[in-house]
A and B are shown apart, each in its own frame.
Chain A
Amino acid sequence: MLKHIRKTVAAAAVTTLLGAQAMAGELVINYDGSDPAPKEAFAMVIEKFEAANPDITVKWNLFDHEGYKTSIRNFLTADAPDVAAWYAGNRMAPFVNAGLFEDVSDVWAENGLDEAMASTAPSMTIDGKKWGVPYTYYQWGIYYRKDIFADKGIEVPTNWEEFLAACATLKEAGITPITIGTKYLWTAAGVFDYLNLRTNGYEVHNDLTAGKIAYTDERIVAVFEKWAELVEPGYFIEDHAAFSWQEALAPMVQGEAAMYVMGNFAVAPLREAGLTDDQLGFMQFPEITPGIPMAEEAPTDTFHIPANAKNKEDAKKFLAFLASAEIQTEVNKILGQLPANKNAEVADDPFITAGFELLSNAAGLAQFYDRDAPAEMAKAGMEGFQEFMIKPERRDEILKRLDKVQEKVYE
């Protein structure tokens, strides 16, 4: 028995030794795309990367999407991989400020990315340096049921009056105008962001999430007034706080609801549930204040090199590889999203081409409320949005509370 144990221990020791030696040409990548499409896309990238660099073997660890957000804090300090997936904007700020991400401005400079990825460059920059490489982004907007709109004789609304009129027509016909599932809060932030971007514009969005404007500011109050015009007549689905965003797709598929303010990742499950491209349409969030340049939401997913990475040289090769137009074309074809490299080709899909056109003409790209605002503010803010959507009469109380959080967070 003892002998057996000794043998196992010895074997374990040998394996760790071998493991340590194998590190030389090995590139460890931690990735959070556990859904089928991201998984497939990433497997393809690695296969191509290994083919192009035969001396490097890639070892990738696939994480659950939600669990990753907690794990990354541990592995960045304790056992850092060479490349790690994360998000742009303020979401990466804590790691950058704690010195856990490597400055990769040289990768950008050497590969001409400053020009090729100009649209996402600002969201990758902190203190004038680039801290990662984006590989995909996607548009937000309103996904709607074309057939229901046609049936009720509704034209695609381009301004707020038309939008409200469309909602009223749908409501009268017994169809819930807008479906949403706010159980996990962030969906409400999408609606808020768009109302804010359309009422006040891109600058106000940035100033608000940077803590330069109070929530009781009259411009933000105006956003909530617009929101109330949707909440008070009951244009949002009832009991939305009980549903996740996926559960809220069901009413739309069943034809009980007609619109959904969402990101492009909603297209895949909607198609899977049986909606054809004749039934499902995409429109830009309508104009509210006339003349304000239309900025859009386009969250960007990124890869970074941890400061504690062992194989930074190959990691930089990988980032450059991932940033190339050719690879971004292929990855985003599988993901059904948009390449961050402007020289990449866009997949032939009505929603992706619509998104590409939308974002190419955008006056500015917002990451998303919970990526632009610091975590604590985002949490309190999104809870406030959800509360407002259920109890709109508490508006002033909610905004005052958010001001209090803001004072504390940005001090």
Chain B
Amino acid sequence: MSVDSTIEQSYWKKNKLKIAPWLFLAPGLLMFLLYVIAPIFQSIWVSFYEWDGLSPKKFIGLANYQELIDDRDFYRSLKNNVIWLVLYMLAVPIGLFIALFLNQNVWGIRIYKSLFFFPFVISQVVVGLVFAWFYDPSNGILALIFSIWGGRPPAILADEDYVTYGIIAAGLWPQIAYCMILFLTGLNNVSPDQVEAGRLDGAKGWRMLWHVILPQLRPATFIAVVVTIIGALRSFDLVSIMTQGGPYGSSRVLAYYMYETALSEYGYRMGYGAAIAVVLFLIMMVYISFFLWRMYRQEKSGG
């Protein structure tokens, strides 16, 4: 017993420095493994089964994926995801310009900054509700504006051609605010020396922005782009609040389609939902690995 403990003690003493960081990491790692990594593999596993969540699972191999290839709703959701990705990126330049506009020292600027940041603070659910009321064809503000010109407003959320754009517009509102904050913090770190030097060399306006300011904002831009891409890919809450994927499924995105097939009132096809989740995961993986790879490279080069 005593021999054991001395050995243990000396082992601990010898390797203290190596073990300590792992001990500190352990709780976080454990949670990450349990709640992030394990479910990923579980989803992949479930996607090979037919399962309603109650009855026994039935192994069906790749049949769920086969069905996806031939599923019109899947392609429509995928197409909407692409529209989301493209249009959501508008948040980055618009956020940048609002940040540039707000980055000045006038009286009360802090209030304006907070007001611009406000949409990001309120919940997505509230944003969705507010925009749904804007678009309401009988009493919405849009209907009022149209009625001034004597026109009939389009029922944005009930029209298969407009609905996705209507939801993206709602999503852009908080996303722009988020990008703006990222750029505002970035602008704080822009070195005044370089701006001064640029000014001496005769740089002004767009040239100053493009050649002097923007290169220094690169870390902020990078984060803004990544956050926006991920935001676009997991655009679930707004779709759920504003249209529930309707009319007749024309505003579904992959995340919502997955929820609908796996967990909604008429769904409970866990396997099929998991297969959609796996596809969405693979798409996200492209961006996530790019992000990690870049971080890794930056760490290595010390920049």
Report which A residues bind B (CB closer than 8 A).
66, 69-70, 73, 76-77, 94-95, 97-98, 100, 182-185, 238-242, 247, 250, 370, 375-376, 378-379, 383-384, 386-387, 390, 401, 408
A241/B137 in contact, CB under 8 A:
no
Interface string of B245-261 (1 = CB under 8 A from A): 01111000000000010
Cβ A69 vs Cβ B137 within 8 A = no
Write the chain A residue with the least CB distance to B135: A242
Distance A183 CA – B268 CA, assembled complex (angstroms): 21
Which of B55, B249, B265 is close to A70, meaning CB atoms less than 8 Å apart?
Answer: B265
Q: Which residues of A lie under 8 Å from residue B158 when comparing CB positions?
A: 183, 239-242, 390
Bound complex: CA of A77 vs CA of B135, how far in Å? 42
Report the minimal beta-carbon distance from B240 to chain A, rounded to whole angstroms.
Answer: 12
| Contact among A66, A97, A376, A387 with B247 in the assembled complex (CB-CB below 8 Å) | A387
Q: Are A73 and B155 also in contact (CB < 8 A) when A94-B52, A242-B137, A250-B138 are?
A: no
Q: A184-B244, A378-B266 are in contact. List 17 more A-B contacts (CB 8 A).
A: A66-B265, A73-B53, A76-B54, A94-B52, A94-B268, A97-B55, A98-B54, A183-B158, A239-B137, A241-B157, A242-B136, A375-B268, A379-B260, A379-B266, A384-B248, A387-B248, A401-B72
In the bound complex, do residue A241 and residue B247 qualify as a contact, i.e. CB atoms below 8 Å apart?
yes
Q: With A69-B265, A73-B54, A378-B266 given, is the CB distance from A383 to B155 under 8 Å? A: no
| A238-B246 Cα distance, complex, nearest whole Å | 16
CB of B128, distance to nearest CB on chain A (Å): 14
- In the complex, A37→B268 CA distance in Å? 31
Q: How far is the CA of A183 from the CA of B244 in the complex (A)?
A: 9
Please indicate which of the listed interface residues A100, A182, A376, A384 has the most CB atoms of chain B within 10 Å of its own CB.
A376
CA distance A239 to B163 in the complex (A): 13
**Distance between A115 CB and nearest chain B CB, rounded to angstroms:** 33
B263 close to chain A: CB less than 8 A: yes
Query: Number of A-B pairs whose CB atoms are under 8 Å?
Result: 76
In Å, the complex CA distance between A84 and B303 comes to: 62
CA distance A238 to B158 in the complex (A): 10
Grouping DSSP codes into helix (H, G, I), strand (E, B) and loop, the B interface class, with mixed when no group exceeds half, is loop
On whether A98 and B55 interact (CB within 8 A), knowing A239-B158, A241-B155, the answer reads yes
> Which of A100, A250, A379, A401 is packed against the most chain B CB atoms within 10 Å?
A379
Q: List 29 A-B contacts (CB under 8 A).
A: A69-B265, A73-B53, A94-B52, A94-B55, A94-B268, A95-B54, A98-B54, A183-B158, A183-B243, A184-B244, A238-B137, A239-B137, A241-B157, A241-B159, A241-B246, A242-B135, A247-B138, A250-B138, A375-B265, A375-B267, A376-B267, A383-B246, A384-B248, A387-B247, A387-B248, A390-B158, A390-B160, A390-B247, A408-B67
The residues of A that contact B135 with a CB separation of less than 8 Å are: 242
Bound complex: CA of A402 vs CA of B158, how far in Å? 21
Chain B residues, CB < 8 A from A66: 265
CA distance A97 to B158 in the complex (A): 37
Which of A73, A239, A386, A408 is B246 in contact with, Cβ under 8 Å?
A386
Complex Cα–Cα for A239 and B244 (A) = 16
Give the residue name and chain of the B residue nearest to A188 (CB).
B248
Pairwise interchain contact B247-A386, C-beta atoms closer than 8 A: yes
Chain A residues whose C-beta falls within 8 Å of the C-beta of B136 in the assembled complex: 242
Number of interface residues of B (CB under 8 A): 28
The answer to whether A77 touches B54, judged by C-beta atoms less than 8 angstroms apart, is yes
Q: Which of A182, A242, A250: most chain B Cβ within 10 A?
A: A242
Q: How far is the CB of A236 from chain B (nearest CB, A)?
A: 12
B94 to chain A, nearest CB (A): 28
Minimal beta-carbon separation of A2 from chain B (angstroms): 21
Task: Please tell me which one of the listed residues A73, A76, A250 contacts residue B268 in the complex, with CB atoms under 8 A apart.
Answer: A73
A98 to B72, CA, bound (A): 30
Output the nearest chain A residue to B156 by Cβ-Cβ distance: A242
Q: Which 10 A-B pairs have the closest CB atoms?
A: A379-B266, A241-B158, A239-B155, A242-B158, A98-B54, A387-B248, A241-B247, A383-B248, A375-B266, A242-B155
B268 (CB) vs chain A CBs: closest residue: A375
Q: Using an 8 Å CB-CB cutoff, how does the interface string of B174-212 with A read, 1 for contact, 0 for none?
A: 000000000000000000000000000000000000000
Q: How far is the CA of A32 from the CA of B184 in the complex (A)?
A: 49
CB-based nearest B residue for A77 = B54
Name the A residues within 8 Å of B67 (CB-CB). Answer: 408
A94→B160 CA distance, assembly (Å):
33
Question: CA separation between A76 and B53, bound complex, in Å?
Answer: 12
User: Which chain A positions have C-beta within 8 A of B137?
Assistant: 238-239, 242
- A183 contacts B263, C-beta separation under 8 Å: no
Q: Within B111-144, which residues are at the interface with A (CB < 8 Å)?
A: 135-138
Q: Using Cβ atoms and an 8 Å threshold, which residues of chain A touch B72?
A: 401
| Nearest CB of A to B58, in Å | 12
**Docked pose: A166 CA to B53 CA in angstroms:** 49
- B136–chain A nearest beta-carbon distance, Å: 7
Query: Once the chains are docked, how many angstroms separate the CA of A183 from the CA of B155?
Result: 12
- A242 vs B263: C-alpha distance in the bound complex, in angstroms? 24
How close is A15's CB to chain B, nearest CB, in angstroms?
29
A378 to B136, CA, bound (A): 27
CB-CB nearest in chain A for B265: A69
A376-B155 contact, Cβ under 8 Å, with A98-B54, A384-B248: no
Q: How far is the CB of A160 from chain B (nearest CB, A)?
A: 27
**B residues 40-56 touching A (CB-CB < 8 Å):** 52-55
Give which listed residue, B52, B157, B248, contacts A242 with CB less than 8 A: B157
Q: Which residues of A contact B266 (CB under 8 A)?
A: 370, 375-376, 378-379
Distance (Å) between the CB of B163 and the closest chain A CB?
Answer: 9
Q: Which residue of chain A has its CB nearest to the CB of B72?
A: A401
In the assembled complex, how far is the CB of residue A85 from the closest CB belonging to chain B, in whole angstroms?
A: 15
Contact A94:B246 (CB < 8 A) given known A376-B269, A401-B72: no
Residues of B within 8 A of A408 (CB): 67
Task: Point out which of B72, B246, B267, B269 has the most chain A C-beta atoms below 10 A from its C-beta.
Answer: B246
In whole angstroms, what is the CA distance A76 to B268 when docked?
A: 15
A351–B113 Cα distance when bound, in Å, is 58
CA–CA, A390 to B138, complex, Å?
Answer: 18
Q: A residues within 8 A CB of B246?
A: 183, 185, 241, 383, 386
Q: Which residues of A contact B267 (CB under 8 A)?
A: 375-376, 379
Shortest CB-to-CB span from A235 to chain B, Å, is: 18
